[in-house]
Amino acid sequence: MDLMDAIDVRCSRRKYVKESIEDNKVVHLKNLIEKVNKEGDLNLQLILDDGRAFQSLKKSYGFSGVENYIGLVGKNDKLLREKIGYYGEKIVLEATRMGLGTCWVGGTFDKDACTCDIKTGESLIGVIAIGNVKKNSSIKEKLISNLIHRKTKTVEQMYESKEEVPAWFKDGMKAVQKAPSAINKQPVKFKFENGIVSARVNGDNEYEEIDLGIAKLHFQTGAKGGKWQWGNGAEFIK
Ligand SMILES: Cc1cc2nc3c(=O)[nH]c(=O)nc-3n(C[C@H](O)[C@H](O)[C@H](O)COP(=O)(O)O)c2cc1C
């Protein structure tokens, strides 16, 4: 499975089976986390076999069997949320390639029960639940997913341009369409103007900058290369 396949098959999974993640996958995840932490100056952490953050029924509504998660920790900085989105989604797609289930979790977990190591000047922005799942979604998972899922926006609703856009831009937008976003709002608006791509969010809620980082990674993957500048409204160099 390549990254494009991972984008196609990924969907949020909320019911996990009680089977530890296999050792070879743990090693792969840890190496990737170390790499993105270096690249993004983050402190993401893999917490294994500890489901306490998902034990409170009230706080972790909709989830069951979560025993592992990635703590999304980093230094307080105005780009922190966007970087967490970009690098966190890199891990999500890699986990999908390995056949693991994932779900971004911004709200429905017990923050106080998280055992992440959070240093002075750092924050825990959220977690990504990760682990083994049954091949097909359970009925409850489907119900929750239907509850949250609004109809997916069309690609045309997600960008503006006064000119004809190239095929690589359309491919990038198709990958953005499949990106996870908080309550499936798909809030990131792309622009193609004089051959230059940019992406921005209104910043209406605390999750939008995470969604921005996630959407940027999907765009870059779909467009098969190119590099983003960091920041809301920043540009993409193909
Ligand atoms: C930043 C962020 C925060 C999220 N927080 C939660 C959450 O607290 N609880 C939850 O059940 N799902 C959460 N989700 C998952 C979204 O609901 C899900 O990505 C969206 O409905 C699209 O569905 P899909 O991921 O299956 O494509 C979050 C997603 C993102 C990107």
- Judgement on whether residues 9 and 126 belong to the same structural domain of the protein: yes
Q: What count of Cα atoms within 13 Å lies in the side-chain half-sphere of residue 220?
A: 19
Write down the pLDDT at residue 183.
92
- Judgement on whether residues 195 and 88 belong to the same structural domain of the protein: no
- Judgement on whether residues 166 and 129 belong to the same structural domain of the protein: no
> Which of 15, 70, 177, 181 has most ligand 1 atoms within 8 Å of CB, for mutation?
181
- Per-position pLDDT tens, the chain of length 238: 899 999 999 999 999 998 999 999 999 999 999 999 999 999 999 999 999 999 988 888 899 999 999 999 999 999 999 999 999 999 999 999 999 999 999 999 999 999 999 999 999 999 999 999 998 777 777 777 777 655 789 999 999 999 999 999 999 999 999 999 999 999 999 999 998 999 999 988 899 999 999 999 999 999 999 999 999 999 999 9
Report which of 59, 50, 41 is spatially closest to residue 105, judged by C-alpha positions: 59
CATH of the domain at 187: 3.40.109.30
- Judgement on whether residues 154 and 202 belong to the same structural domain of the protein: yes
The pTM assigned to this predicted structure is 0.96
**Identity at 235, one-letter amino acid code:** E
- Judgement on whether residues 15 and 131 belong to the same structural domain of the protein: yes
Domain that holds residue 76: 3-141
Write down the pLDDT at residue 150.
54
* Rounded-to-10 torsion of CA 203, 206, 208, 210: 140
Core vs surface per residue 126-155: b (16+ CB within 10 A) or e: bbbbbbbbeeebeeebeebbeeeeeeeeeb
- Residues 45-65: tens digit of each pLDDT: 999 999 999 998 888 889 999
- Judgement on whether residues 15 and 115 belong to the same structural domain of the protein: yes
User: How many structural domains are present in the chain?
Assistant: 2
- Judgement on whether residues 180 and 104 belong to the same structural domain of the protein: no
| Residue 177 beta carbon below 6 angstroms from any ligand 1 atom | no
| Residue 149 beta carbon below 6 angstroms from any ligand 1 atom | yes
| Residue 87 beta carbon below 6 angstroms from any ligand 1 atom | no
Report which of 168, 176, 66 is spatially closest to residue 110, judged by C-alpha positions: 66
Burial of 194 (0-12, 13-18, 19+ CB in 10 A): exposed
Last residue of a domain, one of 141, 163, 184: 141
